């Protein structure tokens, strides 16, 4: 089963429907998009010399070409490697090298970052919308390549505890099961006419775009290429039955937008990637009506662990309604979910433990990392590293995230990544990074630092240093200097003590 079958089907059955739009303007129909997909696929194989199973990196901000490039990779039997457009050049370099991508497509704003990284095996870097890109579209269309359900389709890089990203290998079966769960568990109300790509298409928004291709929905790209509340309200007014995925911080900004806008065209806002406070959820229901849905997932089980549907959000008559709003819902229909103790024994409702997942959405494993795969998928279950508790009705509430993960604005940030940059600064002797609760962003990054003897580091200079060496969104929002970091008898920094100190300061 090749997931690109859905684009070819849409190109025939929904040929005249709008497939891609920018702002309020339709750019392509499904007939045109399916044709361009097959031509790009042919060009990737014949002109770029790519072979089945080769990786193709997509270093793109949200743009109209994203949809056709994803499906062209799959049509040609290749593996797509969508990369977060906000990453630093060093992070792009690691992913390109680790995935052994042989070609990379980049938007104009990223071409100067990506082009210097070309090497063996990355021999081709193409700017979307350029003459080189247009020449690829003049290639004869190729037939769809047959794929086994377990063949890799999407290589999803997610940060690791060592500071180096790990590539979760998502198969055609994984993506298909995720798409079915979208209809069954997350966005249950038809019709599915429009998906607004306000969040990055390299992550959740792009993943949910697959379900909308199955239904022949229009993919609407904001003119800004990202999230602007005023523009999102404009698009809601312009497109019928609009659904979109958003981080909780984005939903909060829409709720707090001062203008009184018509949202009758809005079908669903699907939020995930971080905690949504109950009071913010209530405010969203008050402003938009029963149009909120929540998901909980990971890159290793994309968008698919649990869900809290719009109907569950709206069920005010239930005696535990507020408790359910504080949860992440019930297991999605393609997976089994357990809460276990340290020995993987299932715990009863009411007891907190690690969340384990098994089902058709769980990744094949980590790319070229057998040790991490064996550890994470031991016993045939995905060990999420997240901790939670089931209630008697099967609703899961998250209690903590292991490995000190920080989620800011719906984006995962591992402290080790930030620490490894800061500790290289000549004025810094030791560093420990934690997340601080933040009403707007969910969490903000805070660095606790021990200065080297005789130095007085300037925080503005540290901020500039971080911007030069890491993605801007990962840099600390606050720098705190201490004489010593709290440590246990083994010399390990006790971050729990740092969080206590931070909450008291």
Q: What is the CATH number of the domain that holds 207?
A: 3.40.50.12780
Cα distances from 479 to residues 266, 327, 447, in angstroms, run: 41, 33, 5
Same domain, 495 and 457: yes
Same domain, 310 and 415: no
Residue 132's H or E segment, with its range, is helix 131-136
Boundary-marking domain end, from 334, 364, 390: 390
Tell me the pTM: 0.87
Average pLDDT, the chain: 93
Q: What stretches of 117-189 adopt beta strand conformation (E)? A: 124-127, 152-158, 166-171
Is 398 domain-assigned?
no
Inform me whether the pLDDT recorded for 77 exceeds 70.
yes
Is 182 domain-assigned?
yes
Same domain, 126 and 203: yes
CA 381, distance to chain mean position in Å, is: 21
Same domain, 201 and 109: yes
Same domain, 433 and 321: no
Per residue in 441-480, pLDDT (tens digit) is 899 999 999 998 878 889 999 999 999 999 999 999 999 9
Same domain, 418 and 484: yes
Same domain, 202 and 235: yes
- DSSP-derived letter for residue 62 is S
Per residue in 311-363, pLDDT (tens digit) is 999 999 999 999 999 999 999 999 999 999 999 999 999 998 999 999 999 99
Is 47 domain-assigned?
yes
Same domain, 188 and 336: yes
The whole-number average pLDDT for the span 242-258 is 92
Boundary-marking domain end, from 330, 357, 390: 390
Same domain, 341 and 412: no
Same domain, 287 and 410: no
Same domain, 217 and 82: yes
Boundary-marking domain end, from 344, 359, 390: 390
3-state secondary structure 422-471: HCCCCCEEEEEEEEEEECCCEEEEEEEEEECCCCCCCHHHHHHHHHHHCC
Tokens at 444, concatenated: 């903000």
Is 396 domain-assigned?
no
Is 258 domain-assigned?
yes
Is 122 domain-assigned?
yes
SS3 of residue 353 by DSSP: strand
Residue 415 is part of a domain; what is its CATH number? 3.30.300.30
Structural domains of the chain, count = 2
Is 397 domain-assigned?
no
Is 241 domain-assigned?
yes
Inform me whether the pLDDT recorded for 3 exceeds 50.
yes
Inform me whether the pLDDT recorded for 37 exceeds 60.
yes
Same domain, 355 and 494: no
Residue 337 sits in which domain range? 5-390
């Amino acid at each position: 089963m090749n997931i690109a079958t859905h684009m070819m089907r849409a190109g025939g059955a929904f040929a005249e429907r709008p497939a891609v739009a920018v702002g309020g303007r339709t750019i392509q129909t499904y007939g045109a998009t399916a044709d361009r997909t097959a031509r790009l696929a042919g060009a990737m194989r014949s002109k770029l010399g790519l072979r089945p199973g080769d990786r193709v990196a997509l270093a793109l901000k949200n743009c109209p070409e994203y949809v056709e490039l994803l499906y062209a990779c799959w049509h040609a039997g290749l593996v797509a490697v969508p990369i977060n457009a906000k990453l630093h050049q060093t992070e792009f370099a690691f992913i390109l090298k680790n995935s052994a991508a042989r070609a990379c497509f980049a938007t104009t704003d990223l071409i100067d970052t990506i082009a210097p990284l070309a090497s063996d095996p990355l021999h081709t870097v193409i700017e979307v919308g350029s003459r080189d890109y247009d020449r690829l579209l003049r290639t004869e269309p190729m037939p769809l390549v047959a794929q086994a359900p377990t063949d890799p389709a999407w290589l999803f890089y997610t940060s690791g505890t060592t500071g180096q990203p790990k590539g979760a290998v998502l198969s055609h079966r994984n993506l298909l099961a995720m798409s079915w769960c979208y209809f069954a568990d997350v966005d249950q109300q038809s019709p599915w006419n429009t998906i607004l790509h306000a969040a990055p298409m390299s992550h959740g928004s792009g993943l949910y775009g697959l379900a909308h291709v199955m239904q022949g929905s229009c993919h609407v790209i904001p003119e800004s290429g990202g999230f602007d509340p005023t523009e999102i309200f404009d698009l809601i007014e312009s497109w019928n039955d609009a659904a979109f995925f958003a981080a909780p911080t984005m939903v909060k900004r829409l709720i707090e937008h001062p203008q009184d806008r018509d949202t009758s065209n809005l079908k669903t806002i699907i939020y995930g990637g971080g905690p949504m406070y109950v009071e913010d959820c209530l405010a969203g229901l008050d402003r938009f009506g029963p149009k909120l849905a929540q998901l909980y997932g990971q890159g290793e089980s994309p968008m698919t662990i649990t869900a809290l549907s719009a109907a569950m959000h709206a069920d005010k008559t239930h005696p535990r309604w507020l408790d359910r709003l504080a949860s992440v819902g019930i297991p999605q229909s393609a997976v089994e979910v357990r809460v276990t103790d340290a020995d993987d024994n299932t715990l009863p409702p009411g007891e907190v433990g690690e969340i384990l997942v098994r089902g058709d959405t769980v990744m094949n494993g980590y790319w070229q990392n057998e040790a991490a795969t064996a550890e994470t998928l031991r016993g045939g279950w995905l060990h999420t590293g997240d901790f939670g508790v089931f209630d008697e009705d099967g609703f899961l509430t998250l209690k903590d995230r292991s490995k000190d993960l920080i989620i800011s604005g719906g984006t995962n940030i591992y402290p080790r990544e930030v620490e490894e940059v800061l500790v290289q600064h000549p004025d810094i002797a030791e560093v420990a990074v934690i997340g601080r609760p933040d009403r707007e962003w969910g969490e903000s990054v805070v660095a606790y630092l021990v200065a080297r003897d005789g130095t007085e580091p300037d925080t503005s200079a540290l901020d500039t240093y971080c911007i030069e060496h890491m993605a801007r969104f990962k840099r600390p929002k606050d720098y705190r200097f201490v004489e010593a970091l709290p440590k246990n008898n083994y010399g390990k920094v006790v971050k729990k003590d740092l969080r206590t100190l931070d909450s008291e300061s």
